[in-house]
Amino acid sequence: MIAQSYKKDSENQRKIQISLVFCSVCTTFAPYLYIYIMAQQFEIIAKTFMGLEPVLAKELAQLGANDVQVGRRMVSFKGDKELLYRANFQLHTAIRILKPIKHFRALSADDVYEGVKDIDWSEYIANDKTFAVDSVVFSEEFRHSKFVAYKVKDAIVDQFRERTGKRPNISITNPDIRLHIHIAEDQCTLCLDSSGESLHRRGYRQESVEAPLNEVLAAGMILMTGWQGETDFIDPMCGSGTLLIEAALIARNMAPGLFRKEFAFEKWPDFDADLFDKIYNDDSQEREFNHHIYGYDVDIKAVNTARLNAKAAGLTSDITVEERDFKDFTQPKNKSIMVTNPPYGERISTPDLLGTYKMIGERLKHQFTGNEAWILSYREECFAQIGLKPSIKIPVFNGSLECEFRKYQMFDGKMSVFREEGGVVKTEEEKRQMAEKRRFKQNREFKKRLDEEQENAEADIRSFKFRSLERKEAKPYREPRDSRDSRDSKGSKYSRDGRDSKKFNKGSRGFDKRKNNRRFDNNDED
């Protein structure tokens, strides 16, 4: 027994010694490992709409981004190539993801030219590839953004001619490499555009109605409410169904990039196809949704459009759309949240605009008790007609319109009784937001911000008309490499192995699967 005890003590001592050595090694090399990991990270910029910056910052933090900093219509952060891919694929509230390649100072057009020409463009563009340059300028010196784009183009082309005798071509419609230059007074930032088409173009929109809500704005509105699928969701003026579909994606935690045909980073020289395949095929974060989403509209054309778009997204089991006037709205059977975007009277003419908002207030007061409603609108006089006191007001830009997104906590009876029973009118976070200095002005006038139109041009959702999208030759969507079943809403399965060509069936995701390629079937995204 003494021998056994001695043997056991010796083994324990060896284990302790090994542990100490391991700890010593970790302590020694941990700083170097950290330095290596940080060396793989680089600066990234995510662009968004005015008012959505905090929501986007929260999304990025949840993705694991480092050094997240909120700016004007943008959020900067640091990450590696995987995070760059995930930002494009998974973020709900980003318009575009940019990778800065140079910051420099320019006092003249010649300075811009020289600053761009100093970059070794062979690292980013091959001779046989095409490129395009977008520009945003806020400067007294540089008054024309296209002129700046031309100078960038000239610098790149001249460098190739001098070094190789050849030059890459320009392609406005479908370039291999997209560049973006931003000038604020004399500070220039030149970036690679990793997104390509604006990320609000999800790919599920088959048809559109007049003044459809932008997908990124819709997702941002839903995320502002804090809703994650805990209750039913209602939009009584659903239009083409954007809020409904974005709500379903959030409830199921599905990546909005799932429907995209492609991203610009797929054409970069250092594109890692295996890494992106891993990201694309990973549905481990998706979750079950045990409630339902309801959309209503008085226009049957809008109802049919919303149904078609929900079908293209493969979310028909989660979404029900019916023709119904809001004035006929009745108390929902289950606990619900309402998020809606009524007409403003700007592009959509309404015979009795103020009467419509008065009706909204009446319906909420009498037929939505015990729930909360969020309304996006533009005119103060419209909000006044609702006749209810909001618990929070959030300024948001809808295109070039400075709107407000207001929350109404609906309860039955007196507020004092509601509070005594444990009801919460304003959360602590909402109180904090409302207390911020200069957040809101007394008797705020809602006016067009004409100086904002340029930056919001790609997101001006008021410029669209109802149309059926022209059916072009179908492009295959992105095919995953592994054979793995995924679930459409409420348990119906669809195959993502892509080995057999299968068209859309009711309740499935609406994909056309083609071998050795992974692309969304629809060629139009507006």
Q: What is the DSSP string of 426-484?
A: S-HHHHHHHHSTTSS-TT----B-GGGTTTTGGG-GGG---EEPP--PPPP-BPPSS--
Report which of residues 526 and 117 the model is more confident about: 117
489-510 tens-digit pLDDT: 333 333 333 333 333 333 334 4
pLDDT of residue 132: 95
Report which of residues 56 and 144 the model is more confident about: 56
Q: Which residues in 15-49 are b (16+ Cβ under 10 Å) and which e?
A: eeeeeeeeeeeeeeeeeeeeeeeeeebebbbbbbb
pLDDT of residue 174: 86
β-pair partners for 76: 45, 69
β-pair partners for 47: 74, 96
DSSP 326: G
Question: Would you tell me how many other CB atoms lie within 10 Å of the CB of residue 67?
Answer: 11
pLDDT of residue 454: 41
Average pLDDT (83-110) is 96
pLDDT of residue 24: 65
Report which of residues 348 and 465 the model is more confident about: 348
Q: If you write DSSP's letter for every residue of 43-67 in order, what string do you get?
A: EEEEE--TT-HHHHHHHHHHHT-EE
Two tokens at 41? 């990270």
Find out whether 31 and 72 touch, Cβ atoms under 8 Å.
Answer: no
pLDDT at 133 over 90: yes
Element (H, E) at 302: helix 300-312
pLDDT of residue 172: 83
Strands 336-340 and 372-377: parallel
Report which of residues 479 and 155 the model is more confident about: 155
CA distance 5 to 210: 84
**Position 23 confidence tier, pLDDT thresholds 50, 70, 90:** low
The CA angle 113-454-130, to the nearest 5 degrees, is 45
Report which of residues 434 and 85 the model is more confident about: 85
pLDDT of residue 127: 85
198 HSE (CA, 13 A, CB side): 21
The distance from CA 493 to its chain's CA centroid, rounded to whole angstroms, is: 26
Class of domain 39-193: alpha beta
Three-state secondary-structure class, residue 176: coil
**Position 250 confidence tier, pLDDT thresholds 50, 70, 90:** very high
Find out whether 265 and 84 touch, Cβ atoms under 8 Å.
Answer: yes
Find out whether 314 and 288 touch, Cβ atoms under 8 Å.
Answer: no
Written in H, E and C, the secondary structure of 123-173 is HCCCCCCEEEEEEEEECCCCCCHHHHHHHHHHHHHHHHHHHHCCCCEECCC
442-488 tens-digit pLDDT: 434 444 433 433 444 343 332 323 333 333 333 344 454 443 333 34
β-pair partners for 340: 375
CA distance 41 to 505: 43
Phi, psi (deg, nearest 5) at residue 374? -120, 130
pLDDT of residue 74: 94
pLDDT at 522 over 90: no
Find out whether 212 and 305 touch, Cβ atoms under 8 Å.
Answer: no
Find out whether 95 and 47 touch, Cβ atoms under 8 Å.
Answer: yes
CA distance 282 to 251: 17
Query: If you search the block for the tokens 């015979």, which residue do you land on?
Result: 351
Radius of gyration of the chain (CA): 27
pLDDT of residue 231: 97
**Position 212 confidence tier, pLDDT thresholds 50, 70, 90:** confident
pLDDT of residue 484: 34
The overall average pLDDT reported for the chain is: 79
pLDDT of residue 449: 39
pLDDT at 3 over 90: no
What percentage of the chain exceeds 70 in pLDDT? 70
27-67 tens-digit pLDDT: 665 454 444 445 579 999 999 999 999 999 999 999 999 99
pLDDT at 404 over 60: yes
Which residues 6+ apart lie within 8 Å of 132 measured at CB? 170, 171, 172, 175, 177, 178, 179
What percentage of the chain exceeds 90 in pLDDT? 59
pLDDT at 217 over 70: yes
pLDDT of residue 434: 53
The distance from CA 55 to its chain's CA centroid, rounded to whole angstroms, is: 10
CA distance 87 to 97: 7
Q: 214-255+293-467 has which CATH code?
A: 3.40.50.150
Domain ranges of the chain: 39-193, 214-255+293-467, 470-526
Least confident of 307-321, 348-362, 443-457: 443-457
**Position 2 confidence tier, pLDDT thresholds 50, 70, 90:** low
